[in-house]
């Protein structure tokens, strides 16, 4: 028993037992028959995946994807200019701005969600201010709506979108822009032909890091969306903990993992492309 053996054995056995095996079991469960008492029983079946695509569940599934996608796109729209502006500053200002960006994210995310609940309530701060200023005739229903869920998702996930985009701006070679200018490209052309393609790996990495967790954050929909089944996470949680349909819950999880794999593939492709064209390093993830 030497050190080398121990270190390798620990690495492999931990990952095998607590990562590989559980994922394998999850895939296996998604292929079993649901049973209210014994959770999942043989025989194997593809029914669960079929069920996901029946009208009953498909619309729920698509709607949850749509909400997460909207939240991700809003994150992107805020994060992209933010990262761009930050990257244009001197390095000490940059460090401060980034520090301020991530500081709130070290506070418990539930507590920040609760803060949003107070902000958006019928008698909350936003309504008080807007009616006080006379901009709204009467308080608007903000809490327990899809708007509140998207607001919360963007709030919690914004830093995760900014950081990868920032890092691709950071790596952007200014001489390329100068070359573009020298060759007579105007602002929009420079953006579309140089800046956007070269920051694309950052955008996709950000999309990946935001979109996937956004689908899973059931507590946002529970607290801000009135406990409706708005996100994939709520559906999975309900299937596991309320309806006790583990095979169907597993099928949804397997689909979620497939989406992840697909997005990683796209990311790898784009990164590869940009590396060849722009000579950048693969260090966004």
Partner 1 sequence: MTRTSRWFFLMAVFIYLYAPIAILVVNSFNSSKYGHSWKGFTWKWYDKLLDNNALMQAFWHSLTVGLLAASFAAVIGTLMAFSLYRYRFALKKAAGGMLFIVMMSPDIVLAITFLVIFMVLGIQLGFWSLLISHITFCLPFVVIVVYARLNGFDGNLLEAAKDLGAGEARAFFTVVLPLSMPAIVSGWLLSFTLSLDDVIVSSFVTGPSYEILPIRVFSMVKIGVSPEVNALAALMLVVSTILVLIAQLFIRKGKNQ
Partner 2 sequence: MNKTLLMTLLLLITGAVQAEEKVVVYNWSEYVDDSVLEDFTKETGIKIEYSTFDSNEVMYSKLKLQRGKGYDIVVPSTYYISKMAKEGLLQKLDKSQLKNIRNLNPDLLNKDYDPGNVYSLPYLWGSTGLCYNADEVEPASVTAWKDLWDPKWKGKLLFTDDVREVFHMALRINGHSGNSEDPAHITQAYELLKKVIPNVLVFNSEAPREPYLSGDVVVGMNWNGEAVSAAQENPAIQYVYPKEGAVFWVDSFAIPVGAENVKNAHAFIDYMLRAEVAKLNTEYVGYATPNQAALPLLEQSTRENPVIFPPEKIIANGEFHRDIGNDALQLMHDYWQKLKAGQ
> Does 52 interact with partner 2 (rule: CB under 8 A)?
no
Taking alpha carbons only, the member of 9, 62, 54, 39 closest to residue 249 is 39
Quickly count: other Cβ atoms within 10 Å of residue 107's Cβ.
10
Instruction: Report the residue number, 66 or 173, with the smaller CB distance to partner 2.
Output: 66
Nearest to 112 by CA among 223, 267, 245: 223
Of 102 and 277, nearer to partner 1 (C-beta) is: 102
Within 8 A by CB and 6+ apart from 120, the residues are 126, 127, 142, 143, 148, 151, 224
Minimum Å gap between C-beta 1 and partner 1 is 11
115 binds, among partner 2, partner 1, none (CB under 5 to 8 A by kind): partner 1
x/- map, 223-262, partner 2, by CB under 8 A: ---xxxxx---xx--xxxxxxxx-----------------
Would you say 28 and 18 are in contact if contact means Cβ atoms under 8 Å apart? no
Return the number of the residue (127 or 271) whose C-beta is nearest partner 2: 127
Q: Are 220 and 24 in contact (CB under 8 A)?
A: no
50 sits near partner 2 (criterion: CB under 8 A): no
Is the Cβ of residue 23 or residue 228 nearer to partner 2 in the bound state?
228
Interatomic CA distance for residues 44 and 39, integer angstroms: 14
Which does residue 56 touch among partner 1, partner 2, none (CB within 5 to 8 A, set by kind)?
partner 2
Binding of partner 2 by 205 (CB under 8 A): no
């Amino acid at each position: 028993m030497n050190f080398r053996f121990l270190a390798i054995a620990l690495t492999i056995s931990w990952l095998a037992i607590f990562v590989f095996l559980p994922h394998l079991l999850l895939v296996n469960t998604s292929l079993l028959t649901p049973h209210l008492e014994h959770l999942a029983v043989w025989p194997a079946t593809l029914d669960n995946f079929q069920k996901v695509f029946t009208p009953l569940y498909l619309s729920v599934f698509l709607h949850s994807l749509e909400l997460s996608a909207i939240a991700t796109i809003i994150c992107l729209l805020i994060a992209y200019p933010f990262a761009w502006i930050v990257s244009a500053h001197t390095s000490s200002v940059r460090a401060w701005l980034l520090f301020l960006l991530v500081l709130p994210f070290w506070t418990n995310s539930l507590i920040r969600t609760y803060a949003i609940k107070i902000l958006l309530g019928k008698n909350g701060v936003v309504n008080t201010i807007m009616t006080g200023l006379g901009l709204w005739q009467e308080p608007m229903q903000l809490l327990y709506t899809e708007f509140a869920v998207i607001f919360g998702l963007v709030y919690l996930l914004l830093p995760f979108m900014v950081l990868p985009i920032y890092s691709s701006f950071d790596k952007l070679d200014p001489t390329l822009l100068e070359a573009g200018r020298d060759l007579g490209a105007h602002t929009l052309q420079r953006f579309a032909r140089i800046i956007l393609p070269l920051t694309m790996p950052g955008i996709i990495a950000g999309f990946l890091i935001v979109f996937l967790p956004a689908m899973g954050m059931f507590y946002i929909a529970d607290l801000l969306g009135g406990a409706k089944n708005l996100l994939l996470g709520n559906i999975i949680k309900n299937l596991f903990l309320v309806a006790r349909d583990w095979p169907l819950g597993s099928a949804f999880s397997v689909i979620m993992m497939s989406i992840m794999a697909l997005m990683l593939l796209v990311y790898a492709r784009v990164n590869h492309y940009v590396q060849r064209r722009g000579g950048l390093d693969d260090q966004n993830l």
